[in-house]
Amino acid sequence: MQAQNPSHALALVLVDELARCGVTDAVLAPGSRSAALAMALHDDPRLRLHVQVDERSAGFLAVGLGRATGRPAAVVVTSGSAVANLHPAVVEAHTGAVPLLLLTADRPPELRGTGANQAIDQLHLFGRSVRWFHEAGAADDHPGAVAHWRSMAARAVGEALGLAGPAGPVHLNLPFREPTVPASDDGRTRAEPFSASLDGRPERRPWVSITRTPRHAAPGELAVLAGRLVATERGLIVVGQTTAPAGPIHALSRATGYPVIAEPPSGARLPGALAHAHHLLGHAGFARAHRPDLVIRIGRTGVSRNVASLLGPDVPQVLIDPDGGWHDPDRAVSHLLVADVAATCTELVDELAVPASSEWADGWAAADAAAADAVAAVLDDGDLPSEPRTARDLAAALPDGTTLVVGSSMPIRDLDQVMCPREGLRVLASRGASGIDGTVSTALGIAIADATSDGARRQPTVALVGDLTLLHDSNGFLLSPDLERVDCTFVVLDNDGGGIFSFLPQAAYPASFERVFGTPHGRDLSHLAAFHELGYHRIDLASDLPTVLTRTRLAGGIHLVHVRTDREANRQLHDRLTRAVHDALG
């Protein structure tokens, strides 16, 4: 590599080192101060470059790429307010443990605090939400510069993947002096060529190779916990959002006889797990009779209030987390075991030796089956689309290998309450900050990650979102020309506003409710689909959903499947579901 000036050198070295460290994707929001980085990314075939005009959407596109792959994607923006627009994505990556690289171009130090255009204080702009911040300093042609830049890039990738804790966002602030493009003959961008060698390690190795090993619990600690499991029949395994594989968790369930309550994004809502814990634990009598004597908790929970009410301080609870994550908003956990989840479950199974069964587990299974029948009877009564039925039928109809991205607010709750356990479906959700922002871009990032490197189609990505969630990030559809290489179907539950508020105390105040909580928008989503040139399909009969999904999968590209619902009817349907399950439990 040969650079024409220091800014060009910094960009070439940084992009080369990121590729050496395993980064495969970068998202760019156009700007001038980041020109050197933009051109270097465009010209390097090892990285897929995605261009998004909206910086906030660009940040969430990178979050989707990181969530799907487990590798940090880089997001590149110019200086000034462009950087501030990344903050919502930074918050989600921080709270959701998603690896993310923020490469923010900046004015050089001599232009800061002078009133220069697009010059704000970008130092530590994201505060404690990043795993590591580094100000690179303005690029200069001096000994040691290349080693500094390569070490910085290698550490940034390592910190994003989690060196001393969970994965998360890393911020590299990169001041560029002009010229920010390779030297030309226009009389304005002349500079002396960069004199130092830009070479990295031989054989394209990273400047710093990082090795991570799983944390194992001490043998004595495992023996004590295994003893507690053997001595306790009335136990539960509760699994929230986690990257731990489901197999060892279910093996521990079989070895202990403990039922598994698994939120859909946990990856553990497999056959054998309970599907209707929310409804079961909403029955006061059942909840009292089924208070566990020990709970093994894995991942971050919080979708169901009824499950959360079971996990009170009076219930002994052991949280297993590889990074020591403090997933305990109710201050109920009595033991935090900092260890790899899969290894710990496997080692506990070895300690326990033989599978267990119990009347306790049989009772949960029988109640769950009764709840399933009751829920099905209500949802299948007629063929009008509803939000819970759409969630249930969508999860059941998608072919193996599909990724289902679920929006916050009601869609994730509906899915949690009605999704039947199944194999072959990966469910992802932004449950870090649990916001609705950036969901369109996150889903598109996941869809891009699910495609092969040449854009060939695999199983599609499908997103289940509400209407406000879709509108909030509709700029995500401005991603282009990447849309031609993305297969993603958005199933939109459109109740003309914020449906979740109908289930909250605010609903008891009708004078103000509709304007400040219901917030009807009155928009026709078919017009949005036409503007962005998306495929559009309206669902008038619930039974039509599987056929439409097949059609969009075969067609490829981006589609909007529109399901119109009514907020008040949806609230009444949820009441009917609750009553039906309670009647089934007697």
For the stretch 13-49, pLDDT in tens is 999 999 999 999 999 999 999 999 999 999 999 999 9
Whether the link from the prior residue into 546 is cis, omega within 30° of 0, is no
- Torsion angle (degrees, nearest 10) of CA 35, 36, 42, 48: -100
CATH of residue 332's domain is: 3.40.50.1220
Nearest of 501, 496, 485, 491 to residue 448 by alpha carbon: 485
Last residue of a domain, one of 170, 204, 238: 204
Is 86 in the same domain as 224?
A: no
579 within some domain: no
Residues 331 and 442 in one domain: no
End-to-end CA distance of the chain: 75
Length of the chain: 586
Q: Domain check: are 128 and 186 in the same one?
A: yes
Residue 522 belongs to domain spanning: 382-570
Query: What's the pLDDT score for residue 120?
Result: 83
**Residue whose token pair is 């002096």:** 177
Asked, for residue 233, whether it belongs to a domain, the answer is yes
Structural domain contains residue 124: yes
Identify whether 578 is part of a domain: no
- Residue 517: DSSP 8-state: I
Beta carbons within 10 angstroms of residue 503's beta carbon: 16
- Enclosing H/E stretch for 354: none
Identify residue 120 by its one-letter amino acid code: I
Indicate if 530 and 562 belong to the same structural domain: yes
Cα R_g (the chain), whole angstroms: 26
Smallest CA-to-CA distance from 373 within 304, 282, 275, 273 is with 275
Query: How confident is the model at residue 185, as a pLDDT?
Result: 46
Asked, for residue 505, whether it belongs to a domain, the answer is yes
Both 190 and 238 in one domain: the answer is no
Q: Would 241 be classed as within a structural domain?
A: yes
Model pLDDT, residue 147:
95
Q: Which residues of the chain have pLDDT under 50?
A: 185-186, 453
Together in a domain, 322 and 422: no
Please answer whether residues 28 and 3 qualify as being in contact, where contact means their C-beta atoms are separated by less than 8 angstroms.
no
Q: pLDDT at position 480, please?
A: 76
243 shares its domain with 197: no
Which residue is associated with the tokens 């304005």? 188
From CA 251, how far away is CA 297, in angstroms rounded?
A: 15
pLDDT at 181 (0 to 100):
85
Count of C-beta atoms within a 10 Å radius of residue 53: 13
Query: Which domain-ending residue is among 181, 204, 227?
Result: 204
Q: What is the DSSP letter of 458?
A: -
Together in a domain, 186 and 309: no
Query: In angstroms, rounded to a whole number, what is the distance separating the alpha carbons of residues 326 and 529?
Result: 42
pLDDT (0 to 100) of residue 197: 86
How many CA atoms are closer than 13 Å to the CA of 87, on its beta-carbon side?
A: 11
pLDDT of residue 568: 92
What's the pLDDT at 50? Answer: 96
- The whole-number pLDDT of residue 182 equals 81
Residues 14 and 145 occupy one common structural domain: yes
Query: Which pLDDT value is given to residue 1?
Result: 75
Residue whose structure tokens are 């994965």: 167
Strand order in the sheet with 294-298: 260-262, 235-239, 294-298, 317-321, 335-338
- Asked if residue 171 and residue 285 are part of one domain, the reply reads no
Whether residue 71 is found in the same domain as residue 192: yes
Enter the DSSP assignment of 211: -
Q: At 134, which CATH number?
A: 3.40.50.970
Same domain assignment for residues 357 and 386 = no
Nearest CA-CA partner of 445 in 401, 476, 411, 471: 476
Q: Of 316, 342, 367, which one is at a domain's C-terminal end?
A: 367
Q: Assess if residue 95 is contained within a domain.
A: yes
Domain assignment present for residue 581? The answer is: no
Our count of domains for the chain comes to 3
pLDDT in tens, 111-161: 888 888 888 888 999 999 999 999 999 988 888 999 999 999 999 999 999
